[in-house]
Amino acid sequence: MSKLDEIKPSKCISLETYKKDNQPIKTPVWFIIKNNLVYVVTRSKTGKVKRLENNLQVKIAPCTFKGKITGNWISGTAKILDEKETKEIVKLRDKKYGFMAKVAKFFSKNKGELYAFSININ
């Protein structure tokens, strides 16, 4: 079983990003897997984006919707996607999460533009 196989059945993963002082911050996020990469969509004005701009090292683990960890942590490196890649990943995310993705988009509008990144498992 690959490390990605462990998170595939989950609806959410916990994303651990790091402040400038290396303090870890865990956030439950939706995700998709494509071509052995994990993709996450968020908004440009969120804390996780600010933290990724300082440090692309991340950890992920399967979790519940509320963030309770249900599996092992996996280290990875994030890569910010360009506008074209972001649009493609948003479509895939919307397909996976359906109506809930539409609701999330509406309620997060004030947090900036849609923003996506990939995570390459180390």
CATH code, domain with 100? 2.30.110.10
| 30 DSSP 8-state letter | -
Count Cα neighbours of 21 within 13 Å in the Cβ-side half-sphere. 1
Confidence of residue 67 (pLDDT cuts 50, 70, 90): very high
* Mean pLDDT value of segment 57-80: 96
Domain that holds residue 82: 3-121
Torsion on CA atoms 5, 67, 19, 41, rounded to nearest 10: 60
Measured distance CA(51)–CA(60) in Å, rounded: 15
Tell me the mean pLDDT in the region 75-87.
97
Counting the structural domains of the chain, the total is 1
* pLDDT above 90 (res 115): yes
DSSP state of 81: -
Closest Cα partner for 116 from 22, 18, 30?
A: 30
Confidence at residue 70, expressed as pLDDT on a 0 to 100 scale: 96
| 1 has pLDDT over 80 | no
Token duo for residue 52:
């990724």
- Give the chain's mean pLDDT: 94
Query: In terms of pTM, does the model score above 0.85?
Result: yes
